[in-house]
Amino acid sequence: MRPVARALQTGIALCLIGCGGSGSMTPTPIPPANNPPVIDGITIQGARPKEPSNFADLGEAVQVSAAVHDDETPADRLQYQWNASAGSFSGSGAAVTWTAPTGLSTPADVTLSLMVTERYGGTSGTQFSHDVTGSATLSLHDSVKEVGDMARQFLLDFSDSTITDVSYVMRNFDPACDGTTAETMQVADNRRKFNIVRSSVGAPSVKIPFGDSFCSVPGRVQRGDACSATPVHWESTVLADRHFQIADGTDWISAYYRPAVKAWKLCDSQFTGTCVDATTGGACTDAQAAAMVAGSWRER
């Protein structure tokens, strides 16, 4: 074969390989103009009256809903995919139910995430899609345990007269709460006038009514999002005259949930029960009892 002919054959072969065989190319589809969906917000709300938003207790089922809009596709024709860092979802679409886990240490933040997909087509039948994501964070709690633990710890600290730092005893109270100032003064008064020599603090019973008036004692109503009732017993020596006084009853402590700090805070303490001056055999005076017990004195 002549050199010219051989070179021509080689050029044709290279062209067939490099130019796609037939020489034609499939154009890349161009998507039509389409705006992606917009997630305007995600709402998390439990079913209990006055329960704060973005809040849940262990094992609680709360409603989760997304406000979504799209310029071309109705919201109910978009696709919704929910995910969470803990817990599980049930249902589908823009409104679902999230159930909190039961085994996490609290307080804890849990992130709920959403991906919204819009599918749309061009004139050639080619499918395109937009994916947008959003998220919201809820604060997960074991409210009964958290409030009960704080209330009992306050009473244990109060019952230890060697703890003279009043601010330490009051560390779990909310300074903005109406009852905290009075309670702080009463704890300081106790440290000046009494030495608690024996005490017992029982297991607290906690209710979470969220804003209802649950902590009710004679002559006063304690308002709060939660209330702890704890059996207590104190035996104290009056420092001024060495009298011996004994108090038995229940200490009622209210608490509020503060969304700004994602935490429960104690608010007010009231004692109901009996106070006896064992030295004289008579009842304690109101002033003595108020200083002796944790909280304002109310005789049962």
Average pLDDT over residues 110-119: 98
Predicted TM-score of the model (pTM): 0.86
Q: What is the pLDDT of residue 252?
A: 93
Least confident of 14-23, 63-72, 75-84, 166-175: 14-23
Residues 142 and 245: their CA atoms lie apart, in Å, by 37
Q: How many CB atoms lie within 10 A of CB 253?
A: 33
Domain count, the chain: 2
Amino acid identity for residue 209 in this structure: P
**Residues 155 and 36 placed together within one structural domain of the fold:** no
Cis peptide before 107 (omega within 30 of 0): yes
pLDDT band, residue 174 (cuts 50/70/90): very high
pLDDT band, residue 84 (cuts 50/70/90): very high
User: Which of 141, 163, 189 is the endpoint of a domain?
Assistant: 141
Does 1 reside within a domain?
no
Which domain does 169 fall in, by range? 143-299
Furthest-apart CA atoms within the chain: distance in Å:
135
User: Which of 141, 162, 189 is the endpoint of a domain?
Assistant: 141
Does 6 reside within a domain?
no
User: Which of 109, 141, 173 is the endpoint of a domain?
Assistant: 141
Least confident of 13-27, 74-88, 136-150, 216-230: 13-27
Q: What CATH number is associated with residue 151?
A: 3.10.450
pLDDT tens string 178-236: 889 999 999 999 999 999 999 999 999 999 999 866 676 666 777 889 999 999 999 99
pLDDT band, residue 122 (cuts 50/70/90): low
Element (H or E) spanning 169, and its range?
helix 166-169
Q: What is the pLDDT of residue 19?
A: 47
Q: What CATH number is associated with residue 107?
A: 2.60.40.10
Q: What is the pLDDT of residue 6?
A: 41
Give the residue among 7, 29, 262, 202 at the shortest CA–CA distance from 126: 29
**pLDDT, mean over the chain:** 89
Q: How far is CA 115 from the centre of its chain?
A: 24
